[in-house]
A = this chain, B = another copy of it.
Amino acid sequence: MTQDSTRVDNRRTDTRDRILQVALRLFADNGYAATSLQKIADELGVTKAALYFHFKTKEDILGGILLGHRGSVEDMVDRVGPRLHTPAGREELLRLISDYQATRSQYLIRLIRENAVEIGNLSLGAQIRDAQRRLLDALAGPDATLLDRIRARTAFCALHVAVKHGDDLDASAEEIREAALTVALEILHGVDQNT
C-alpha cells in the first residue's frame, strides 16, 4: 500500500460526495433551475470552480444524483421476478417499493417528482422513465385492464402520499408509511378481485 490508508475509493477527498449530497437537498427544496452552482458552492464552503473539477456541467450533478436510482428500480422488478405473475408477488413488489422509499432520502423522492421536466431532458431521465413504467406494468399484473393499470399507478401514488403530506398528517413518519402501505395494498387487492 503506497497510498494513504485514510483514502476511500482511491480519492483524496470526499468533496464529490458532499457536492451530490448538498445539491440533492437544494434541488429538492428549491428546484433544479432555481438552484445556482453558487449556492451549492457557498454551502460547501468552496468556489464554483471547484465544482467543475468534479462535474463537467450542472446537468452532470443532477445525473450523478440520479445514477443508481434507475438500477434500484430495475432491481426491484428483477428481484421478484417470475412471482410477479401472482398476487403475492405483486404485493411483495409493493412492499419493496415502500421499503425503498423509506430507506432512501426523502429528498430523492421530492427531487424526482418536482423536477420531472429537467430530469426528462437527461438521457438518464428517459431510462428512469422506462424503468418506472416497467415497474408499474409489473404491478398491474399480466393482461391488465385499463382499470387495473390505473389501480397499480394509484397504489404507487399512495406510497408517495406519505412523503407529500408528511407535515399535514400529525403522525410519525413510520406510522404514515405503514398506513400508506396498507392503503396501497387495499387498492392492489382490488386488482386481484376484479380480474
Q: How far is the CB of A162 from chain B (nearest CB, A)?
A: 8
**Chain B, residue nearest A117 (CB):** B31
Stretch at the interface among A49-57, A81-89, A171-179: A171-179
**Chain B, residue nearest A175 (CB):** B146
Decide yes or no whether A4 CB sits under 8 A from chain B: no
**Chain B, residue nearest A31 (CB):** B117
Not counting A114-B114, A146-B175, A146-B179, a sample of 7 additional A-B residue pairs whose C-beta atoms are within 8 angstroms of each other reads A31-B33, A34-B117, A34-B118, A150-B158, A150-B162, A150-B169, A157-B157
Q: How far is the CB of A109 from chain B (nearest CB, A)?
A: 13
Decide yes or no whether A30 CB sits under 8 A from chain B: yes
- One of B30, B116, B133, B154 near A117 (C-beta < 8 A): B30
Copies in the complex: 2
**Chain B, residue nearest A169 (CB):** B149
Q: How far is the CB of A82 from chain B (nearest CB, A)?
A: 24
Decide yes or no whether A90 CB sits under 8 A from chain B: no
- What are 29 pairs between A and B in contact, CB < 8 Å? A31-B33, A31-B115, A31-B117, A33-B33, A33-B34, A34-B118, A113-B113, A113-B114, A114-B115, A114-B116, A133-B168, A146-B169, A146-B179, A147-B179, A147-B182, A147-B183, A149-B169, A150-B162, A150-B169, A150-B176, A150-B180, A150-B183, A154-B154, A154-B180, A157-B158, A157-B161, A183-B190, A186-B190, A187-B187
B146 touches A176 (CB 8 A): yes
Number of chain A residues close to chain B: CB under 8 A: 40
Contact string against B for A residues 142-166, beta-carbon threshold 8 Å, 1 for contact and 0 otherwise:
0000110111011001101110110
On whether A183 and B114 interact (CB within 8 A), knowing A146-B175, A157-B158, the answer reads no
Question: Which residues of A are interface residues toward B (Cβ below 8 A)?
Answer: 29-31, 33-34, 113-118, 133, 136, 146-147, 149-151, 153-154, 157-158, 160-162, 164-165, 168-169, 171, 175-176, 179-180, 182-184, 186-187, 190
